Every structure is written in structure tokens, then in C-alpha cells.
Amino acid sequence: MLSKDTLQFLEDLKANNNRDWFLDNKKRYEAFKKDLHQLIGDLLDAMKPLDPSLEMLEVKNCTFRINRDIRFSKDKSPYKSHVGIWISSGAKGMNRSGYYIQIEKGASFIAGGLYCPEPEDLKKMRKEIAYFHDDLEAILNAKEFKKEFTDFDRNDKNTLKNPPRGYEKDHPAIDLLKLKSFESTQRIDISAVTKKDFVATVSKKLIALKPLNDFINRALTSEE
């Protein structure tokens, strides 16, 4: 769980997103960071027994810098006013599937899978789907997955209108092969974050994504 003070810090930062305010509230930021790291540690303690691939992860592997990369953005606000937690077995330079938690007023959610993979990884995903779509369909239709996430997130931006090159339009998994991104999300209310059972509840939900993550990581580590 996170404290209400932590959530209030994020709200205040969103309303005062500038360096002077941030420096004046450095003690609040340090308290926020300590609270966040405690939450991540608790999540890792809960998730590691459920997914052994996470065993070597530490808190520092799951956090993001609060500074925004504003080099190519019209929005020059220097700081992130939301919390993002990424729990994945992928090391630096290795793209892997994983579990994601975002905490932000009005936009909190949990998710898993592979977001907008690079061309080579997308090619590997499509090859895995083409040959083993029965495995993926079984995962997406499993009771535990359906209960929490229903399906991949599908929209016009992450779905091709036509079959990808090399695949026929009558392929039995053509709807999956047209995807350009492979993630599933569930919205959550930010009030849940301050409850004592937050870690236990979220861990139970996220682990429903493990078979999907295993399938994706199998694809990404396969030899061409």
C-alpha cells in the first residue's frame, strides 16, 4: 500500500510541476520515494514465489526516474506525476514481457505483456503465433485470465488493417497476427492503493498474466 501523503505529493507535484517547487519539497519527495520503494519490495516478496523468473529482481530494477525525458516532447514539465512499476525478468538491453502497475488519479491500471515491440521482436512474436496460436488462444481463453483481463488490448492504432507481410488473410490466427502490440490491462481505482490488502490483491490479479508472459518470452528468446 501507499500512504495518502504519497498520493497527495503526486497531486501537488502535478499542480506545481517545476524545479523550484520540487526543490522546496525535497523532504516530501524523499518520503514519497521511501514509501514507493517499500511498496515495490512488498510486491516483489509477493510475486517471486508465484513467478520464479523474478527471483533476482531488486527494488532498483523495477523503478523509473521521476525526471521526464523532455528532449522531443512539447510538454516541458520536468517531472512525472504518476507512479510506474515494471516487474520483469528482462535485463538491460533485453526486451522481455512483464507486469506493470501505474498509479495516477483517474488513470490507474495494472497490465502485462509486450508493449509496441521493435521490428525484430515483433517478427519473433508473429512467428511464434503462426506456429503455436493454439497455445496462445488457450492462454487468452483460460478462466483466470478471462476473469481479470478478458483479452489483448485492441484498437486501430495497434492493429494492422491488412495481414502482415508473409501471412495469408485466411490464416487461422490472422486477428492475432495483425496485432502490433501485445498487452492486456485492467483499470483500478486509486483508492485501492491505500488499502492494506493492495499488494495481495494486485499480486493475485497480475499472476493471471504469467502464462501470457511465458509465451511472449518464449517467442523473444527463440532462435530464428
Give domain limits for the chain.
4-220
**pLDDT reading at 48 higher than 80:** yes
% of the chain residues with pLDDT over 90:
92
Radius of gyration of the chain measured on its C-alpha atoms: 19
Angle at which helices 198-206 and 26-47 cross, to 10°: 50
Instruction: Output the pLDDT for position 94.
Output: 64
Cell (9 digits) for 201: 490483491
Return the pLDDT at 91.
57
- Residue 32 CB burial class (10 angstroms; 0-12, 13-18, ≥19): buried
pLDDT at 93: 53
Mean pLDDT calculated for residue range 161-178: 96
φ and ψ at residue 131, rounded to 5 degrees? -90, -30
Give the span between the Cα atoms of 101 and 2, in whole angstroms.
13
Average per-residue pLDDT for the chain: 95
Q: Which of 62-76, 108-122, 141-155 has the lowest mean pLDDT?
A: 62-76
What are the DSSP E strand ranges found in the chain?
Answer: 83-88, 98-103, 109-114, 182-187
What's residue 142's pLDDT? 98
Return the CATH number of the domain spanning residue range 4-220. 3.30.930
Question: pTM for the complete prediction?
Answer: 0.94
Number of CB atoms found within 10 A of residue 175's CB = 12
Residue 222 — very low, low, confident or very high, per pLDDT cuts 50/70/90? confident
The pLDDT tens digits of the residues spanning 119-130 come to: 999 999 999 999
For residue 40, what is its C-alpha cell? 515495490
At 49-97, the pLDDT tens digits run 999 999 999 999 999 999 999 888 888 999 999 999 999 987 555 678 9
Residue type, 25: N
